[in-house]
Amino acid sequence: MTIQDIKNRFGIIGSSPLLERAMDIAMQVAPTDLSVLITGESGTGKEVFPQIIHQLSSRKHGQYIAVNCGAIPEGTIDSELFGHEKGSFTGAHEARKGYFEVANGGTIFLDEVAEMPLATQARLLRVLESGEFIKVGSSKVLKTDVRVIAATNVNIAQAIEKGKFREDLYYRLNTVPIVVPPLRERKQDIHLLFRKFAADFAAKYRMPGIKLNAEAESLLTNYYWHGNVRQLKNITEQISVIEKNREINAETLSKYLPEKDTNRLPMVVKGDGAEFSERDILYKVLFDMKKDLTDLKKVVVDLIENDHGLEQDFHPKNEQIIKKLYQDVGTTETTVKLGYGNTSVQPKVTNGEEIHAHEVVEEQPLSLQELEMDMIKKALAKFKGKRKSAARELGISERTLYRKINEYKLDL
């Protein structure tokens, strides 16, 4: 059987040397029982190669089972793969055969094998080395004759370094490696794939097929394709359904292509063994700002409820809290008056864009009584006389607010 025969049989499109090399390795290893590890980015079509190997092997009349290891919860993956005995865990109302027992004499394809828990990796290693396994909740050793083909889009070397993947299992799986090239390394195949998908969707939706002009074809070919063949197929379907004009130019095509070389997923910052997403960093900044606001509120409440002088309460430490708050928020033009001593924090601005320094301007202080009256009036006005809400805003009890209103004889 030739490579062209394989392409026709499995619907593979393209003539890239890297793709044909991967197919040639699959054809050569198929008659053997060697384990195979298929690597490549997500969306490259790795799932086709185990089918090629199985169909060209002596096991083609046996079971072929594809298992997505990343989709099975950690607590049940051992049961799924190796089976369990009745009563071995909650919900095990009857004994069950696992995939390795069912596929005896056939082939198991373990997709996303790098997502497999370490304990399960140890069980898999035993199967690969001796063909033996034990059901969950059993002590009886069973035998199986299964060919294992695994695939992953993870950098296994890095996973081993982080302790997330067993090195001995890697060498046992990687007896024969097959690397599926990303779409950007198969430039001559991109337009062929587009035309095939466009024809398929035209038939599916019963509409004329879309075509690309020369500029659009060039844009399509030189795009990075983070999602590889899967992304190309999705975009072709979108354009086929949405666009009324059946001839697509570069301007129209660019609307469907995310900005080139831009990763739209959250950035990952690595260091000291930890991983933080951009969202986690933003949350941390927001929580720090919330803490500063809480500290500032405590300063204001303390000034309201205690009869200390402004010189004691408005300590330089409190000025620093306010300054830090403005530095974190990045205020450039807003001047906030605290009311106490009519003190203002005024960020200095150059060209209306950047903060270069902060300064605290002290004016003639109001008396504490005038200050409290002013704040109470503003709070009550804000909440249209609702004293409970005003008290909550001021950080004092409703009873204290009533007492202050009577004390200052506020005319509300």
Q: Residue 64: what pLDDT?
A: 97
pLDDT at 270: 43
Q: How confident is the model at residue 342 (pLDDT cuts 50, 70, 90)?
A: very low
Q: Is pLDDT of 61 > 60?
A: yes
Mean pLDDT score of the chain = 82
CATH fold for domain 185-254:
Helicase, Ruva Protein; domain 3 (1.10.8)
Going by their DSSP bridges, the two strands 36-39 and 132-134 should be labelled as unpaired
Q: Where in the chain is the domain with CATH 3.40.50.300?
A: 3-181
CATH superfamily assigned to domain 3-181: P-loop containing nucleotide triphosphate hydrolases (3.40.50.300)
What tens digit of pLDDT does each residue of 213-246 get?
A: 999 999 999 999 999 999 999 999 999 999 999 9
Tell me, what's the pLDDT at 316? 53
Task: In the chain, list all ranges with CATH 1.10.8.60.
Answer: 185-254
Least trusted range by pLDDT, from 141-155, 199-213, 363-377: 363-377
Percent of the chain clearing pLDDT 70 (strictly above): 75
Of the options 1.10.10, 1.10.287, 1.10.150, 2.60.40, the CATH number for the domain spanning 369-407? 1.10.10
Average pLDDT of the residues in 384-393: 84
Report CA-CA distances (Å) from 116 to 34, 103, 139, 237. 21, 19, 23, 33
Least confident stretch, 93-97, 291-295, 346-350, 369-373: 346-350
pLDDT computed for residue 288 by the predictor = 66
CA-wise closest residue to 411 among 373, 375, 382: 373
Asked if residue 46 lies in contact with residue 35, where contact means CB atoms within 8 angstroms, the answer is no
Q: Is the pTM here over 0.75, yes or no?
A: no
Residue 304 has a pLDDT of 65
**3 state SS of 392:** helix
Q: 127-138 burial string, b = 16+ CB within 10 Å, else e? A: bbeeeebbbbee
- State how far the Cα of 187 lies from the Cα of 191, in Å rounded to an integer: 8
pLDDT at 291 over 70: no
Q: Where in the chain is the domain with CATH 1.10.10?
A: 369-407
Residue 208 in this model has a pLDDT that exceeds 50:
yes
Residue 331 has pLDDT above 50, yes or no: no
The percent of residues above 90 in pLDDT, for the chain, comes to: 60
Please say if the pLDDT value at position 29 is more than 70.
Answer: yes
pLDDT band at 407 (very low <50, low <70, confident <90, very high): confident
